[in-house]
Structure 1
Amino acid sequence: MELTVSDLSVARGGIAVLEGVSFTIASGEALVLRGPNGIGKTTLLRTVAGLQPPLSGAVGLERDAMAYAGHADGIKSVLSVRENLQFWADVFETGSIDAALDAFDLRGLENRAAGGLSAGQKRRLGLARMVVTGRPVWVLDEPTVSLDVASVAMFADAVRAHLAGGGLALLATHIDLGLAEARVLDVEPFKAVPPPLDDFDGAFL
């Protein structure tokens, strides 16, 4: 399996933020996006995942091969940890949630309501959804937010296992996860050129 992004241009609020982005990720590989805050990493990830249309260019992989985790944890606070994961297992028809519970050390929290978890525990539960989906392509936006050092290592191990199983990952993070399989792409060179001001706008500057 291979994720190919070709000459992709993406917009936020109707304004282009990145232009001409191209890369390929093969099975067993990870690509880490780097760049200053606000440059468009989240917009790029959402576009690749099919959550918003590109201005131009193409993503060479079916969207149903991807699982996306953004800034929100995507959990239901009134449900227990087990019920949350089982909900997603039922949606994706993957069955067992045992691997997800083990990967993110959630065994002792299975029956606790998600709303009563700490920020870090909620984040671990949200990331455990990626394992439950069974999808080969993980698209992750700042996945280590709210995680302590031990949990970051736990997440890195989960990504490593995913890659070893033939999956691939595209993620934006400022933290070095120690993944030998990961390449880094600086998106700053793809920053869109602002449109020229017309005479009317220029008169008010």
Structure 2
Amino acid sequence: MPDIAPTAPPLLAVRGLAFARNEQPVFGPLDFDVDAGEALLVQGDNGAGKTTLLRVLAGLLRADAGTIVIDGQPARASLRARAISYLGHLPALKADLTALENLQFLCGLHGRRRGQRPDDAFGIVGLGGHQDTLLRQLSAGQKKRLSLARLWLAPAPLWLLDEPYANLDLEGINLVNRMVQAHLRDGGAALLTTHGAYAAPPVRTRMLVLGRAQPASAGAE
């Protein structure tokens, strides 16, 4: 009989995941997978738990129930640190450092994507010439672009992107889409939250719709 190649596990597998605040359910229980080369678009109204879900996946909040498995392994803190790059509402950058110093510091802390350098990332995100600008002097859109540069440099295969299109013009939205496309081509995966389908990367995408105190469903698009 011919050998059957083993099936690779999902890059992210979630089973029975639930979270409550002050004994009030926020989301769950949720069951979904995200494969390498795939994006999961998380939708829902304000208060549906989109940001909370990403923070639970990143390990910033503790789930009340369920399991999280990354590339076939339980999502312990050390694995999350290597495998996940989280882009939240705040830039997670230091105001008193220059843009370049911020990226150099974060590369030293988290490592760097093979073949990429902090200087190169400025051109990719449209911030050429701002390497020596203090973070506090950048606009909200420029800070978001610098956060995208940080995301691009990180070697983590799983991106958690909370409202990545916020504070970006049409060119910035297209930049996010191109970055997600390239990341998925390299074997990565991404979860993106959004209020609606007005912006979504043109890649293989599943949909996860959250409703307050209601189970969500995930399906291929």
The alignment's TM-score, normalised by the length of structure 1, stands at 0.87
- Cα distance in 2, alignment partners of residues 160 and 118 from structure 1: 26
Structure-to-structure mapping, 1:42-57, within 5 angstroms: 42-57=51-66
3-state SS of paired residue (2:129): helix
Q: Tell me what 1:188 maps to.
A: 211
Structure-to-structure mapping, 1:117-128, within 5 angstroms: 117-128=138-149
Identity level (%):
38
- Cα distance in 2, alignment partners of residues 76 and 99 from structure 1: 20
Q: How many residues were matched structurally? A: 192
- Cα distance in 2, alignment partners of residues 180 and 27 from structure 1: 12
- Cα distance in 2, alignment partners of residues 47 and 152 from structure 1: 26
Q: CA RMSD in A?
A: 1.8
Q: Tell me what 1:202 maps to.
A: none
Q: Tell whether 2:107 aligns with 1:89.
A: yes
- Say if 1:30 and 1:183, in contact at 8 Å, map to a contact too: yes
3-state SS of paired residue (2:132): coil
Structure-to-structure mapping, 1:142-153, within 5 angstroms: 142-153=163-174
- Say if 1:11 and 1:43, in contact at 8 Å, map to a contact too: no
5+ long unaligned stretches in structure 1: 193-205
Letter of the structure 2 residue corresponding to residue 66 of structure 1? I
Change over 3 Å in CA distance of 1:92–1:106 after alignment to 2: same
Letter of the structure 1 residue corresponding to residue 106 of structure 2? W
- Cα distance in 2, alignment partners of residues 99 and 182 from structure 1: 28
5+ long unaligned stretches in structure 2: 1-9, 216-221
Moved over 3 A (4+): none
Q: Tell whether 2:147 aligns with 1:129.
A: no
2:87 to 48, 57, 69: 69
- Cα distance in 1, alignment partners of residues 199 and 180 from structure 2: 13
CA shift, 1:177, in A, is: 2.4
2:38 to 23, 26, 29: 29
The alignment's TM-score, normalised by the length of structure 2, stands at 0.81
- Say if 1:12 and 1:43, in contact at 8 Å, map to a contact too: no
- Say if 2:15 and 2:68, in contact at 8 Å, map to a contact too: yes
Q: Tell me what 2:218 maps to.
A: none
Greater share of helix? 1
- Cα distance in 2, alignment partners of residues 136 and 14 from structure 1: 34
CA shift, 1:100, in A, is: 2.6
CA shift, 1:189, in A, is: 7.9
- Say if 1:20 and 1:190, in contact at 8 Å, map to a contact too: no
